Amino acid sequence: MNRLFHSMFQKSRHRIHEIKTLFYRVLALLTVGITSSPTLAQLPTMDEPTRGEGSGLMETIQNYLYDAAILGGLIIATVAFYIVGQSALAKYKEASEKGQWGAFGITIVVGIILIVAVIWLATKAAEIL
């Protein structure tokens, strides 16, 4: 009989602990919500797209997509810079070890042409958009 009461007491004590924990969590969320409202008032407003907001929602979304496409072009150009730089460093290491400076020079020239082509294509794509 004692075990039965002990088991029931443990279950009710555990349930009370769960309720207290839930109460404290709700109280913490309310406290954060109440104290953060002055902070939210200080947030900056979102910038409008480079082409302006437009006359309607669809035009504003198109203008934001234009900015995203320009950002994508910049990311592609950055990746091209990284790949050319990585390749040039690998060829430099190979040239310094084996003395094949001609291959290093060709890599540099082709890399510069590639970077210029990527930048030119990204600029043309921005004009077409």
Find tokens 């404290």 and name the residue: 24
Q: Among 76, 65, 62, 85, which Cα is nearest to 122's?
A: 76
User: What's 43's DSSP letter?
Assistant: S
Residue 1 has pLDDT above 60, yes or no: no
State what percent of residues in the chain have pLDDT above 90.
21
Least confident piece of the model among 36-40, 64-68, 77-81, 84-88: 36-40
The pLDDT, as a whole number, for residue 41 is: 63
Least confident piece of the model among 9-13, 42-46, 80-84, 93-97: 9-13
Residue 16 has pLDDT above 90, yes or no: no
Using CA atoms of 82, 85, 91, 93 in order, give the dihedral in degrees to the nearest 10. -100
Give Cβ neighbours of residue 29 (< 8 Å, ≥ 6 apart): none
**pTM > 0.75:** no
Provide the phi-psi class of 56: left if phi over 0, else alpha when psi is between -120 and 50, else beta.
Answer: beta
Q: What residue type is 48 in one-letter code?
A: E
Q: What residue type is 5 in one-letter code?
A: F
**Buried (b) or exposed (e) across 116-127, using 16+ Cβ within 10 A?**
eebbeebeeeee
Residue 68 has pLDDT above 80, yes or no: yes
Find tokens 């077409």 and name the residue: 128
The two tokens of residue 14 are 């555990």
The two tokens of residue 49 are 């797209």
